[in-house]
Amino acid sequence: MRELHHECGIAAIYHLGSDTTSKLAARDGPEQVARLMVRMLIDLQNRGQLATGMTSYNPNRDNVLSTYKQIGTVIEAFRLNHPGKSENILRENAGRAAIGHVRYATCGKNDKDHAQPFERYHGRRWKWFSMAFNGQLTNYPELKSELLNKEDYYLMRDLDTEVIMHYLSYELRGDDRPDLVEVFTNLSKKFDGAYNLVFMNGNGDMCVVRDPVGLRPLCYAIDGPLFAAASESVALSNLGFRDIKTLQPGEMVLIQDNELRIVRYAPSPRTAHCFFEWIYFANVASTLDDRSVYLSRAALGKELAIQEHRLGLIKPDYNTVVVPVPDTGKAAADAMAYELGIPSVEGLMRNRHIGRTFIEGNNRADRVKMKFSPLREVLEGRRVILVEDSIVRSTTLKSLLSLIRDRGGAKEVHVRVACPPIIAPCFYGIDMSTVDELYAPKFMRGKIITIEEQQAMARALEADSLFYLPLDAIARCIRLPVDKLCRACLTGEYPTLAGERMYQLALRRHHEGGSAGRTYEADEKPGCG
């Protein structure tokens, strides 16, 4: 129950031809390759825990496409704790290819109908398709309006995944089998925002698509006849793939007629990789766009130590310890402590065995108490430097600070944030779309935070001190140029036109006294990647 929710995750796998020389696919032959999708989704579970699903392709089955999806984690949905039931599910959905999805919703109902993939049945195989989506269409309201103005179109669900499905269907219209590269080229001219897609039709054609800006990560690998793609590299490396590559913005993988091609379907005038992927969202074992998540987070910790030395904020002594907020703060905390020459200790333990239903019905303070256990033996009487990956709304952090003092017995608690202040909403899939809900803008007069503003934040949180990383540290730690990253939530400068338009709307609503709803024109809801 952290302050910022994870993204969705997508995956695809395909066994090309009848060759079974791949060690990764040798177990039971090509038609059992879809079983590997479950393992891939487990490794993407950090990106979404509300629902999961997959669509498999099997030309020897009457229903050549078969979609299975359920509410819950991968283990819950695929009944992995019940071998007999799990085996039945996997046997019924066997196939030589599959696409998969794990979902966290920024809107929409938490029911099976909203889980992905979305399958659209048609009598012609090339019009019968299934698709899954990671991201958010920033111009969703305009796309929805345009769609509903067409004759006899309607939406069963108010989310951008269904809008994408309808636009795909529209591009597939006619009596001739379309060029799939042209299909996605046409869609790229309409869509604005973050959209990574996996698509598969009844002919066994597969497309793996990354948007032209590259906001969300996407990688792929090939081992003999076996191809796989996923939002994060860890899902591929844990299957045994070695040569894992980045799918570039504006590129797509096309598998058709048993051949695989990497194709540029749209120009990419600029890239804008979401920096939050490295500091928070992604699995620490992943490599995104050729940059290690772990090394990036460790570099953030070193930057915190440099700032500590430069400003002389605290003079560490034998009674000072660094404590990470689990789990995403650990790499930064360890690196910071090493540079300062003081211990990094796990003074907070995270309870990973509390179910979602049990904790969702309680208030935030109770949820924090149930999710985190302070170790009094480690914290009592100590000066604690608490390392947090980011502060979005601050409510969880304030409860956590109280917990560290009251139950942990810490003498002092100093917060260090391995991220600059978040001052603007995200319109590309992160669950923060209004200025009012953000913590930093309540204190900041400009876009660069001052020492006095950070001291005011610390007092409001009841921390002994609080300091953020400077803005220029992000690109330095990820080791990508500033112009290759999306830092819109840190700067208010958005990489797409619709994003900029949404920000101006958000600012207007903020200055007019705020809004209980999300920042979408005509009170529209956002999409749910």
Catalytic residues: 8
Rounded Cα distance, 195 and 507, in Å: 25
Rounded Cα distance, 426 and 424, in Å: 7
Phi and psi for 426 in degrees, rounded to 5? -110, 135
Q: Residue 133: helix, strand or coil by DSSP?
A: strand
**Spatial contact of 449 and 440, defined as CB atoms under 8 Å apart:** yes
Where residue 523 falls (left for φ over 0; alpha for ψ -120 to 50; beta otherwise) is left
CA 300 to chain CA centroid, nearest Å: 20
Rounded Cα distance, 391 and 369, in Å: 19
Q: What angle do CA 195, 196, 197 make, to 5 degrees?
A: 110
Rounded Cα distance, 25 and 28, in Å: 7
Residue whose C-alpha is closest to residue 424's, from 490, 516, 513 = 490
Pairing of strands 412-417, 465-468: parallel
Q: Residue 207: helix, strand or coil by DSSP?
A: strand
Beta carbons within 8 Å of 284's beta carbon, 6+ residues apart: 293, 294, 297, 327, 328, 330, 331
Residue 476 class from Cβ within 10 Å (0-12 exposed, 13-18 middle, 19+ buried)? middle
Rounded Cα distance, 54 and 75, in Å: 13
Report how many helices (DSSP H) and strands (DSSP E) the chain contains, helices first.
18, 23
Question: Strand order in 9-15's β-sheet?
Answer: 65-71, 51-57, 97-103, 9-15, 226-230, 219-223, 244-246
The half-sphere exposure of 94 on its side-chain side, counting CA atoms within 13 A, is 11
Name residue 246's amino acid.
T
